[in-house]
Chain A
Amino acid sequence: MHISVNVDGVTYADEVEPRLLLVHYLRERLSKTGTVVGCDTGNCGACTVHLDGHSVKSCQMFAVQANGHEVTTIEGLARDGRLHPVQEAFRSNHALQCGFCTPGMIMQAIDLLADESDPDDETVRKGLEGNLCRCTGYQNIVRAVQDAAQRMKPGAGPKIEQHSDENIAAKQPVGGE
């Protein structure tokens, strides 16, 4: 089937098998290997990307379902050579060890912060319940997300760091696909 998908700001037109999972499309066809596959059942969240501004598990949908939509991956976050505040916070808070869960964890954290601008510990933990990490015990991940929330607050830091998902979050939620 023919699809046209915007991934990290670039529109790709491709012919794909209907059964091609979105994550495999990203990894194998577009070489966007920053997004990884950790399980078969949608539990680990390592493959989390944004579809039209909302987090989804890219191993739980087909590439054909992304036709006409915008996908943002971990590779599309940094702007003008500057890291996204959540990426920055993950590094400063040692919120990763092996780093395999990190792309998905960061994408989900950004989604969470779009809904909750100043989340408490429990809100962060609940918001990340669809992402498994085997290394960190989550403690520093929770800390990083809360730190990122502070970095992303209006007026915090230089203008470039104030980027959040506002522009994306304002869009319509992914309607029932």
Chain B
Amino acid sequence: MIPAEFKYLFPSSVDEAVRMLAEEGEDAKIIAGGQSLVPVLRMRLAAPTALIDIGGLTELTGVRDDGDSLLIGAMTTHYEVQRDHLIQDHALLLRLVTDTVADPQVRHRGTFGGSLCHADPAGDLLAPALALDAVMIIAGPGGRREVPAAEFFVDYFETALRPDEILIDVRVPKYTGWGAHYEKLNRVAQAWSIVAVAAAVQVSGGKIAAARVGLTNVGSGPVRAADVESALIGQPASAEAISAAALKASSGDGYKDNLARVLTDRALMAAVAG
């Protein structure tokens, strides 16, 4: 399948990219790794008049230590996230989730920021971004602004990003020493998850000091299992306590509700063990 024609622009800075977006108008699109966008273009499900390729903006690549948090450049590839020591030490959950994103080829080109902006509710990185209280740092014509993940994911394939804005960095608080796990159920390795659960747990003295739980593909965007998190605080890191808390992941009796509970239980157990 063959995409329709478009103009292709290579900005040399974030500011230039923002300017190009403004100049090209609403039908222009940013292309990051392109691993979701190119198939959409090939199927002619979208026909932007211009693509602004931010692949050359090296300042958007890599993970930096910023005191209490990490700054992850939007153009950091999944492959780089998987191998980054700061992520490994302070945001293990992100690495574990990223390990399951698509396949190795896609992880070589697909980017952390691109996945978040694509906002596919079945996309793996949304739930951990939400659960870990990530903050999106966005560049636009009026300068920079910050949007917490809880406000960033608006609906199916829709974010708080305005048409003239670009996600440049993602700030993720440090979760040093936390256990983490991503429990994903999909029919085949390449399929999107039916449901998946991202969990990070801080255990101290045999008790759960804090927990973060995010659900993938149970709604129009990622879902924070806040009831589960609060039910866990102060509880012993035991199978009983975790199973009881996991029941709060969903109250319905449908298949996905069941999966939300079962996979939350499993994710938390593994996170505690890890």
The answer to whether any beta carbons of A and B sit under 8 Å apart in the complex is yes
A: residues with CB less than 8 A from B are 1, 17-19, 21, 40-43, 45, 48, 51, 54-57, 59-62, 64-65, 108, 111-112, 126-127, 129-131, 173-177
Task: List 9 additional contacts besides A42-B38, A54-B79; criterion CB under 8 Å.
Answer: A41-B43, A57-B106, A60-B38, A60-B39, A62-B38, A112-B104, A173-B108, A175-B77, A176-B54
For residue A19, give the distance in angstroms from its CB to the closest CB of chain B. 5
For residue A11, give the distance in angstroms from its CB to the closest CB of chain B. 19
Q: Are the C-beta atoms of A18 and B75 separated by less than 8 Å? A: no
Q: Are the C-beta atoms of A177 and B105 separated by less than 8 Å? A: no
Q: Are the C-beta atoms of A127 and B190 separated by less than 8 Å? A: no
Most chain B beta carbons < 10 A, residue from A19, A57, A177: A177
The main secondary structure of chain A at its interface with chain B is loop
Chain B residues whose CB sits within 8 angstroms of the CB of A57 once the complex forms:
105-106
Interface stretch, picked from B5-13, B140-148, B155-163, B248-256, is B5-13
Chain A residues whose CB sits within 8 angstroms of the CB of B104 once the complex forms:
55, 108, 111-112, 127, 129-130
Chosen A-B contacts, 15 in total, with CB atoms closer than 8 Å, are A17-B5, A18-B5, A19-B4, A40-B43, A41-B39, A48-B105, A54-B79, A56-B105, A64-B53, A129-B103, A130-B102, A131-B103, A174-B108, A176-B80, A177-B34
Q: Are the C-beta atoms of B6 and A18 separated by less than 8 Å? A: yes
The 4 closest A-B pairs by CB, nearest first: A130-B103, A177-B55, A176-B75, A18-B8
Q: Are the C-beta atoms of B53 and A177 separated by less than 8 Å? A: yes
Closest to B80 in A: A173
Q: Are the C-beta atoms of B34 and A54 separated by less than 8 Å? A: no
For residue A49, give the distance in angstroms from its CB to the closest CB of chain B. 9
Q: Are the C-beta atoms of A55 and B102 separated by less than 8 Å? A: no
Interface residues of B in 99-122 (CB under 8 A from A): 102-106, 108-109, 111
Q: Kindly state the separation between the CA atoms of A55 and B38 in the bound complex, as whole angstroms.
A: 17
Q: Kindly state the separation between the CA atoms of A108 and B103 in the bound complex, as whole angstroms.
A: 10
Q: Kindly state the separation between the CA atoms of A83 and B73 in the bound complex, as whole angstroms.
A: 40
Q: Does B35 contact A (CB under 8 A)?
A: yes
Chain A residues whose CB sits within 8 angstroms of the CB of B3 once the complex forms:
19, 21
Known contacts A64-B8, A176-B33; A126 and B39 CB within 8 A of each other:
no
For residue B180, give the distance in angstroms from its CB to the closest CB of chain A. 19
Closest to B76 in A: A176
B77: contacting residue among A59, A64, A126, A174, CB under 8 A: A174
Chain A residues whose CB sits within 8 angstroms of the CB of B55 once the complex forms:
65, 175-177
Known contacts A19-B2, A42-B106, A130-B104; A176 and B61 CB within 8 A of each other:
yes
For residue B247, give the distance in angstroms from its CB to the closest CB of chain A. 32
Q: Are the C-beta atoms of B105 and A126 separated by less than 8 Å? A: no
Q: Kindly state the separation between the CA atoms of A55 and B190 in the bound complex, as whole angstroms.
A: 17
Q: Are the C-beta atoms of B77 and A176 separated by less than 8 Å? A: yes
For residue A61, give the distance in angstroms from its CB to the closest CB of chain B. 6
Q: Kindly state the separation between the CA atoms of A149 and B60 in the bound complex, as whole angstroms.
A: 36
Closest to A40 in B: B1
Q: Are the C-beta atoms of A175 and B103 separated by less than 8 Å? A: no
Q: Does B32 contact A (CB under 8 A)?
A: yes
Q: Are the C-beta atoms of B108 and A61 separated by less than 8 Å? A: no
Most chain B beta carbons < 10 A, residue from A61, A127, A175: A175
For residue B261, give the distance in angstroms from its CB to the closest CB of chain A. 27
A177: contacting residue among B33, B73, B106, CB under 8 A: B33
Known contacts A19-B2, A176-B111; A40 and B42 CB within 8 A of each other:
yes
Q: Are the C-beta atoms of B106 and A19 separated by less than 8 Å? A: no
Q: Are the C-beta atoms of A61 and B1 separated by less than 8 Å? A: no
Chain B residues whose CB sits within 8 angstroms of the CB of A55 once the complex forms:
104-105, 108
Q: Are the C-beta atoms of B105 and A45 separated by less than 8 Å? A: yes
Closest to A42 in B: B39
